[in-house]
């Protein structure tokens, strides 16, 4: 696989991918209606630009996102590294009903994903959250069986804490941890990131634009009826406080002659060569803006200025609604 973009390896033994990946969630769920044709065109534009990592979940639109990605990748499977999350349970109203990571459920979920994607194997397969009723060893053991059978190439994790990471890695090599990491979300830096680095586990960082909050395109007047209305960072005084932080970033971006979004993505890229940011672009113009961050080199002085403008912990409000945070092992 060749790419005109810089490459990074996910973990010591994981796949080599382009330095930016595309998160496809918003093309099917959580951020309101999306244009299917534009979504497919955005995936094609990502491929043509050299993006190789495409992230989805079987519960994004309850299969819709996998079918969309499978359609867009038809005939181009060898150009893509497909990452799939599984385990989330939802009802017909699309409300979350917990997680199921039992070995028999893992085998059932992967079968659906392979069919919806139209592929013979999944490059990276990961539980979307820790199932508190199932030892992580049982879940990783089931995925290990799928690796041995050729249905999965690599095993990843998502939103888990240090102890779970260690236990999982003791069962099978883990290529990467997928977790939210942005200028606004830095709680993982003290405990989780050092464990990943000690074990040779890469990081795929999602939410690098704070779900649009630090994209530079959000405003006080913007009204949206999607998942973000439930997130504390987008509510009331929290939103006012957080948008004031964005204005500080806008000053730094302006002085560098670039955009807030590119500064935010460049900041994530600067976390280390073991980090691959996922950008959740649903349109080609937003994808192009994020890809432009690959040409933005933040100096040490500029990184210090960003820390001063938005210190760790400066964001107001939790990164998820409380009902979802309780399922996140990474928050314990």
- The domains located in the chain, with CATH, are 7-216+261-297 (3.20.20.100)
Residue 286 has pLDDT above 80, yes or no: yes
Residue 231 has pLDDT above 60, yes or no: yes
- E strand or H helix that includes residue 136: helix 136-149
Predicted confidence at residue 223, as pLDDT, reads 65
pLDDT digits (tens, 9 = 90+) for 183-215: 999 999 999 999 999 999 999 999 999 998 999
Q: In the predicted model, what is the mean pLDDT of the chain?
A: 94
pLDDT digits (tens, 9 = 90+) for 99-147: 999 999 999 999 999 999 999 999 999 999 999 999 999 999 999 999 9
DSSP 8-state symbol, 85: E
Rounded mean pLDDT, 307-312: 96
The whole-angstrom separation of Cα 116 and Cα 118 is 5
Residue 215 CA, chain-centre distance (Å), reads 16
> At which residue do the structure tokens 């073991």 appear?
274
pLDDT band at 1 (very low <50, low <70, confident <90, very high): very low
User: Does residue 151 have an active-site annotation?
Assistant: no
pLDDT band at 323 (very low <50, low <70, confident <90, very high): confident
pLDDT digits (tens, 9 = 90+) for 233-245: 999 999 999 999 9
From the CA atom positions of the chain, what is the Rg in Å? 19
Cα→Cα distances 6→50, 51, 179, Å: 9, 10, 22
31, 60, 99, 125: which one is catalytic?
Answer: 60
């Amino acid at each position: 696989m060749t790419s005109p973009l810089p490459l990074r390896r996910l973990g010591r033994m994981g796949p080599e991918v382009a330095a930016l990946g595309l998160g496809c969630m918003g093309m099917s769920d959580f951020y309101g209606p999306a244009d299917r044709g534009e979504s497919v065109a955005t995936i094609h534009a990502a491929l043509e630009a050299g993006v190789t990592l495409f992230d989805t979940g079987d519960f994004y639109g309850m299969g819709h996102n996998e079918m969309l990605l499978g359609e867009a990748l038809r005939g181009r499977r060898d150009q893509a590294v497909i990452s799939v999350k599984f385990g989330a349970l939802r009802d017909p109203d699309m409300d979350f009903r917990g997680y199921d990571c039992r070995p028999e459920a893992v085998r059932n979920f992967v079968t659906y994903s392979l069919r919806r994607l139209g592929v013979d194997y999944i490059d990276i397969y990961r539980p979307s959250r820790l199932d508190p009723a199932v030892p992580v060893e049982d879940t990783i053991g089931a995925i290990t069986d799928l690796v041995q059978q050729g249905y999965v190439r690599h095993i990843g994790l998502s939103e888990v804490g240090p102890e779970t990471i260690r236990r999982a890695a003791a069962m099978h090599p883990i290529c990467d941890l997928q977790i939210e990491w942005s200028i606004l979300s830095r709680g993982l830096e003290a405990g989780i990131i050092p464990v990943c680095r000690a074990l040779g586990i890469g990081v795929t960082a999602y939410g690098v634009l704070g779900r649009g909050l630090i994209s530079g395109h959000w405003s006080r007047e913007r009204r949206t009826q999607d998942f973000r209305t439930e997130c504390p960072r987008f509510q009331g005084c929290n939103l006012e406080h957080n948008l004031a932080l964005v204005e500080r970033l806008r000053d730094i971006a302006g002085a560098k002659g670039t955009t807030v979004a590119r500064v935010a993505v460049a900041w994530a890229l600067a976390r280390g060569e073991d980090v691959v940011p996922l950008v959740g672009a649903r349109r080609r113009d937003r994808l192009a803006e994020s890809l432009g961050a690959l040409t933005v080199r933040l100096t040490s002085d500029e990184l210090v200025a960003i820390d001063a403008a938005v210190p760790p912990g400066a964001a107001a409000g939790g990164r998820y609604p409380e009902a979802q945070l309780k399922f996140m092992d990474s928050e314990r």
